[in-house]
């Protein structure tokens, strides 16, 4: 029986590289891959004529062993034979296309920054636009030996989007807070100036403006805090059993008492959901308030709750001017307003529908907005129905 010839020189290179790589900033996955690559070289002692072999100085490594090496990685990983892609795992084939195996890596990657990285034995680069106009990938190359190397791609697009969203949110929140503050400070400074000689009528007008802007600022801060709390709890599914139909009926009756019974039409039936009572109350009130602000002041708002198979469906319909289709995809963004002037005049903060969206997501539901110009809008929320146990008769 022929003894197994171990590639000692390759083993030494692999062990040294694996130990040094984490200290050089490479990921532990790649360090592990170096060791596995050496283990794969044990296949050189087994003749498998039916499998394509890649010749090296120490012997041969089967292509099936290369595939087995990179396939388990959750991130895209390529194994290069010099500059040619010898193997690519499923994540890499999905990101770059199934045709890349066998291609020159410079042709497969195409991006100048990535191609520059291929001219170095090892290195890392942040590549923008590799798989799409706004995509951002961290591309790392680690040498296994003089011939073979691994390319790891880590998608950083989501992190960049989150960072951009946070920056935009801070900028928008600062602007929204600054506007009422500037108004309040301006009027108070005028009233406090002994040389201003403001008459009583103007003084009363200034006081009313300061009060209105203060309440607007208070509402904005409350909405920001509410949105922050909802986002902090978004991974915790609420378990309290709540009859959404009964809740909507109660809230609708309260609002009708304030704005007039002719303004609210109630069509509700029982429907139990698992939920957070305070957040569902806020959801219903936000949708009613939105409909009253932007609907026709002379037409009623309809509030419906009905069961539909495995869902409880909440609908709030106004009969206003409607919303242009171009605005519909963006209505639930923070501070987005289809008509900024009208929204501010109505006292809107631009956060009401964003709060609704986050509450619906926390309750594992769906939000749909449909609108026709000149006819009005319907905001529909679907939440999973809780099946009540059937009580025994008698």
Confidence at 389, pLDDT banded by 50, 70, 90: low
Which DSSP category does 321 fall into? S
Quick one: pLDDT band at residue 303, thresholds 50, 70, 90? very high
| pLDDT-derived band at 11, boundaries 50, 70, 90 | low
Between 251 and 47, the higher pLDDT residue: 251
- Tell me: pLDDT of 55 over 90: no
- Indicate if the pLDDT at residue 391 is higher than 60: no
What would the mean pLDDT of 35-62 be, rounded to a whole number?
49
DSSP class of residue 391 equals: P
Structural domains in the chain, CATH included, are: 8-155 (3.30.450.20), 165-232 (1.10.287.130), 236-388 (3.30.565.10)
Tell me the average pLDDT across 177-203.
85
Q: What is the token pair recorded at 147? A: 């011939």
62-76, 220-234, 346-360: least confident range: 62-76
Residue 59 neighbours by CB under 8 Å, 6+ apart: 5, 7, 41, 44, 45
Three-state DSSP state, 102: coil
109-167: pLDDT as tens digits: 877 877 777 777 787 878 787 777 778 888 888 888 788 888 888 888 776 666 666 66
Give pLDDT, residue 358: 92
HSE of 251 in the Cβ direction (CA atoms, 13 Å)?
25
From CA 69, how far away is CA 56, in angstroms rounded? 17
88-97: long-range pairs with CB below 8 Å, 24+: 92/153, 95/131, 95/153, 95/155, 96/131
Given a cut of 70, whether residue 344 has pLDDT beyond it is no
Q: How does strand 60-62 pair with strand 53-55?
A: antiparallel
**Is pLDDT above 50 for 2?**
no
Identify the helix (H) or strand (E) that includes residue 263.
none
Query: Please, what is the Cα angle at 244 between 239 and 250, to 5 degrees?
Result: 125
């Amino acid at each position: 029986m022929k003894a197994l010839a171990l590639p000692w020189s390759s083993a030494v290179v692999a062990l040294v590289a694996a130990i040094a790589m984490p200290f050089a900033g490479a990921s532990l996955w790649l360090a592990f891959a170096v060791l596995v690559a050496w283990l794969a070289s044990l296949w050189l002692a087994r003749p498998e004529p039916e499998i394509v072999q890649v010749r090296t100085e120490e012997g041969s490594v089967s292509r099936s062993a290369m595939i087995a090496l990179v396939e388990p990685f959750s991130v895209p990983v390529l194994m290069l034979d010099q500059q040619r892609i010898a193997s690519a795992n499923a994540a890499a084939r999905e990101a770059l296309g199934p045709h890349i195996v066998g291609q020159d890596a410079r042709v497969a990657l195409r991006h100048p920054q990535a191609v520059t990285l291929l001219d170095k034995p090892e290195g890392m680069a942040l590549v923008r636009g590799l798989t799409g106009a706004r995509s951002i990938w961290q591309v790392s190359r680690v040498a296994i030996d003089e011939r073979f190397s691994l390319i790891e791609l880590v998608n950083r697009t989501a992190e960049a989007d989150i960072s951009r969203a946070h920056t935009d949110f801070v900028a928008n929140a600062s602007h929204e807070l600054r506007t009422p503050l500037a108004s309040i400070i301006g009027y108070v400074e005028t009233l406090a100036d002994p040389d201003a000689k403001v008459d009583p009528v103007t003084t009363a007008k200034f006081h009313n403006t300061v009060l209105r802007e203060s309440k607007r600022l208070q509402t904005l801060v409350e909405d920001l805090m509410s949105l922050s709390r909802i986002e902090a709890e978004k991974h915790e599914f609420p378990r309290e059993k709540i009859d959404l139909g009964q809740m909507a009926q109660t809230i609708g009756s309260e609002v009708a008492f304030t704005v007039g019974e002719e303004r609210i039409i109630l069509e509700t039936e029982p429907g139990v959901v698992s939920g957070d009572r305070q957040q569902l109350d806020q959801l219903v009130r936000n949708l009613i308030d939105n409909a009253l602000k932007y609907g026709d002041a002379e037409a009623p708002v309809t509030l419906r709750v009905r069961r539909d198979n495995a869902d409880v469906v909440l609908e709030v319909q106004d009969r206003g001017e409607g919303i242009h289709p171009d605005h519909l995809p963006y209505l639930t963004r923070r501070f987005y307003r289809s008509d900024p002037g009208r929204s501010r005049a109505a006292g809107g903060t631009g956060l009401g529908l964003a709060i609704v969206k986050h509450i619906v997501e926390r309750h594992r539901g769906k939000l749909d907005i449909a609108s026709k110009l000149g006819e009005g809008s319907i905001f529909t929320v679907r939440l999973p129905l809780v099946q009540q146990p059937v009580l025994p008769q008698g």
